[in-house]
Amino acid sequence: MSELALRGGISVNRIGAMILRYWYLLLSSWPRLLELVYWPVLQIITWGFLQTYIAQNANFFARAGGTLIGAVILWDILFRGQLGFSISFLEEMWARNLANLMMSPLKPIEFLIALMTMSLIRLAIGVFPMTLLALFFFQFNFYSLGLPLIAFFCNLIFTSWAVGIFVSGLVLRHGLGAESIVWTLMFALMPLACVYYPVHVLPVWLQYISWSLPPTYVFEGMRALLIDHVFRADLMLAALAINAVLLMASFTAFLALLRSARRHGSLLAGGE
């Protein structure tokens, strides 16, 4: 048996099989590949020109060059990371393949690891061209953020996975009737995560909620880096700690929703 098992019985072979499944799917469908690039490109062009216009007319934005484009790219990492995770999951629902997987030796944790890997692959396909456009059209070198970029990226992707795991659990339990949550839940975080403005513009009571979200720390950290040229490691560590809690909570919720789906027979129904 060619099985390569890690501690706790997690099988790299089974995770690889699931990644291969999604990879075959991507390669078999050019609309799926195009969709990965289409929206990020549209986003960067729209917001890039807006940033250019504002910078020409407002002294503050002239100094803080790139905060808007930087925020757009980081937001897309967060949003596309979650979509990359959730769409791969939805493919199983659309294909009515979930029962095949749930009855196979594939474990929930292996399934989730495969979905996380796919979210990275889909993100790379979508966001990399976006960063090149930002460089060539708007002279914003996203990679010039340097090492802090790794901290920003990790924190955003961890949050996107936590949200992705949770909404996938909801779809597992409630069927495709809950699909719209996959597309919309992240937008509920947008005003609270202070993507385009600093936290202090929010009412004080709302700031407490805002600081409970890891992306808030990332966007504040980005502004500190671009405007004040300071890397706020404290913000990144706080975000990491909250992300650890969120990931554990989302995994626990996923298992509870999976159990509930088994109780209610949703795994066989799968539809609305």
Site for another protein, rule CB under 8 A:
1-3, 9, 11, 13-14, 16-18, 20-21, 24-25, 28-29, 91, 95-97, 99-107, 259, 262-265, 267-268
Judged by beta carbon, residue 21 or residue 174, the one nearer another protein is: 21
Q: How far is the CB of 7 from another protein (least distance, A)?
A: 15
Judged by beta carbon, residue 95 or residue 150, the one nearer another protein is: 95
Judged by beta carbon, residue 45 or residue 102, the one nearer another protein is: 102
Distance CA 15, CA 88 (A): 13
Distance CA 59, CA 44 (A): 22
Q: How far is the CB of 263 from another protein (least distance, A)?
A: 5
Q: How far is the CB of 119 from another protein (least distance, A)?
A: 19
Q: How far is the CB of 20 from another protein (least distance, A)?
A: 6
Q: How far is the CB of 1 from another protein (least distance, A)?
A: 5
Judged by beta carbon, residue 22 or residue 85, the one nearer another protein is: 22
Q: How far is the CB of 84 from another protein (least distance, A)?
A: 18
Nearest partner of 171 among 230, 67, 92, 100, judged by Cα: 92
Judged by beta carbon, residue 99 or residue 237, the one nearer another protein is: 99
Judged by beta carbon, residue 18 or residue 162, the one nearer another protein is: 18
Q: How far is the CB of 272 from another protein (least distance, A)?
A: 15
Task: Name the token pair of 234.
Answer: 């404290």
Quickly count: other Cβ atoms within 10 Å of residue 8's Cβ. Answer: 7
Task: Name the token pair of 38.
Answer: 């289409």
Judged by beta carbon, residue 102 or residue 120, the one nearer another protein is: 102
